Structures are given as C-alpha cells and as structure tokens.
C-alpha cells in the first residue's frame, strides 16, 4: 500500500535550518510529484512547493523563495524539504503529499506530518 | 496568485443535518478544485477532486458541485465522524492555494 513516512519532530533555534524527509513506498516514486504543505498553530494549510522526483524540477511558493530547498534521492525513494533562516512563525506541522505529475491533480496520499518548533 | 475564498469560516450543526460549504476562486480555475477533510493530529484527506468526483473510499454522503464561480461541498447527512475542518484547494495554477478552512462543530 502507498505510504509516505516522514522524519521526526525537530526543535530549532531562530536562524537555524531544518531538513525534513519523506520516504515513499508502495508506488513508483518518480511517477508522482511530492508537495510540501504546512499548518501553523491555529492556521490553515499553506503550500510551500513541489518537486518532481523524476528530474528534480521544483516549483516553490514565492514567499519561501531563497529559504526553501526541495530535493530527492531516487535510490531510496525519499524526498527532502530544507527550510533555512528559521523564524518563530515557521513553527508548524510540515506535511509531504503526492500528486500525479501534471496540472490539476489532487494530493491523494499524505505523510503523517512533522512538527517543527522554532524557539530560542 | 489565485485567492480561494471559503465560507463560512465556522459552522455548528447536528448529526443528521445537511451541510454546505462554498468556495470561490478569484479567477477561473476550470474544474480544478479539490476538497479535503482535516482532523486534529491527522493528515488531510481528499474527499472530492475535479470539483465533483468522489475520491475512492470517501463516503457517498459527500458530494461536490460547481455553479458559475461557486464550488460547493455538501454533506447530505452529518455523521459524528464528520466534525472536522474542511479546505478547498485549487490546482489549476501554481502556486497551489487553499481556502482558509471551514471548522464544522457539533451544535
């Protein structure tokens, strides 16, 4: 069965970086985009961007340009999201989710979420 | 960016009620509108995709429709497990954007 399993919770200081992993199983990794979505406390869902595991192409939400880097390792079917220059308002649950390649597809499987806490 | 305006932001209802949630996009998104259910401590789950297609495994009491610029999620008869937050999402163009959410509480 399809699974996306994320790395564990992180606590970081302001200005630091965090790297969250998302290991895929149960499907062909390169056939689906991996998206990253976050939810800050008391807030809604916010899309950060996606990566194509096939060729490494990325699209980032402009708000995160310069701070976010999405990457993948196809040999272990794992995607990564690194967020740098962390601020307190980056405290959130970060989710990975897959979608079919192309425009207009939904996120049908999600990881369990990774809590990132930014605190001095 | 395409803005998604969802209403209401919160809603109180009883088991057995019929509930509708609406989402409007700031520009045309064709039918590239999805609906998600999100419960605390769990990952979001897609209920409806392409405006009106029921996701495999989602209960048939959930339905989606579109009329002009308005997309609607309807729950025909609320069940206790339906109390959650619901989000619309457009995937017509990047950046992908979500509505602000509708929190559905027990009356």
Closest CA to A36 of A15, A57, A20: A20
Six token digits for residue B65: 């429709």
Dump pLDDT digits (tens) for A67-111: 999 999 999 999 999 999 999 999 999 999 999 988 788 999 999
Q: Does B71 touch chain A (CB under 8 A)?
A: no
Query: Is any Cβ of chain A less than 8 angstroms from the Cβ of B83?
Result: no
Pair B34, B43: CB distance under 8 Å: no
The predicted pLDDT at position B1 comes to 96
pLDDT tens, position by position, B20-44? 999 999 999 999 999 999 999 999 9
Residues of B whose CB is below 8 A from A98:
none
**Contact: A107, B99; criterion CB under 8 Å:** no
- In this complex, do A107 and B44 lie within 8 Å of one another by their Cβ atoms? yes
User: How much is the pLDDT for A113?
Assistant: 98
Measured CA to CA, the distance from residue B52 to residue B72 in angstroms comes to 9
pLDDT at residue B106 tops 90: no
Yes or no: say if A19 and A82 are a contact pair by the CB < 8 Å rule.
yes
pLDDT band at A60 (very low <50, low <70, confident <90, very high): very high
pLDDT, residue A14, reads 98
Q: What is the mean pLDDT of chain B?
A: 96
Cα–Cα distances (Å) from A89 to A41, A93, B28, B55, in that order, read 9, 12, 32, 33
Q: Do A105 and B38 count as a contact with CB atoms less than 8 A apart?
A: no
What proportion of chain A, given as a percentage, has pLDDT over 70?
A: 100
| Distance spanning both ends of chain B, measured CA to CA | 36
Would you call A112 and B100 a contact, using CB atoms and an 8 Å cutoff?
no
For position A43, what pLDDT does the model report?
97
In sequence order, the 6+-apart residues with CB closer than 8 A to the CB of B12 are: B104, B105, B106, B107
Q: How is residue B84 written in tokens? A: 């959650």
Q: How many helices (H) and strands (E) does chain A have?
A: 0, 11
pLDDT digits (tens, 9 = 90+) for B51-84: 999 999 999 999 999 998 899 999 999 999 999 9
């Amino acid at each position: 069965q399809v699974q996306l399993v994320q790395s564990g919770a992180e606590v970081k200081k302001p200005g630091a970086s965090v790297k969250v992993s998302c290991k895929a199983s149960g499907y062909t990794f390169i056939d689906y985009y991996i998206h990253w979505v976050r939810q800050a406390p008391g807030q809604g869902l916010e899309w950060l961007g996606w990566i194509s595991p096939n060729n490494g192409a990325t699209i980032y939400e402009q708000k995160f340009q310069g701070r976010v880097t999405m990457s993948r390792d196809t040999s272990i079917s794992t995607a990564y999201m690194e967020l740098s220059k962390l601020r307190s308002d980056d405290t959130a649950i970060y989710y990975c989710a897959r979608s079919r390649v192309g425009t207009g597809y939904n996120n049908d499987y999600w990881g369990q979420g990774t809590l990132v806490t930014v605190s001095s | 960016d395409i803005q998604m305006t969802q209403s209401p932001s919160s809603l109180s209802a009883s088991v057995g009620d019929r509930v509708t949630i609406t989402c409007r996009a700031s520009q045309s998104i064709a039918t590239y509108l999805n609906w998600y259910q999100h419960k605390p401590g769990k990952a979001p789950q897609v209920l409806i995709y392409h405006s009106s297609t029921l996701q495999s495994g989602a209960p048939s009491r959930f339905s989606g429709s579109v009329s002009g610029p308005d997309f609607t999620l309807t729950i025909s008869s609320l069940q206790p497990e339906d109390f959650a937050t619901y989000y619309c999402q457009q995937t017509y163009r990047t950046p992908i954007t979500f509505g602000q959410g509708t929190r559905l509480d027990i009356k």
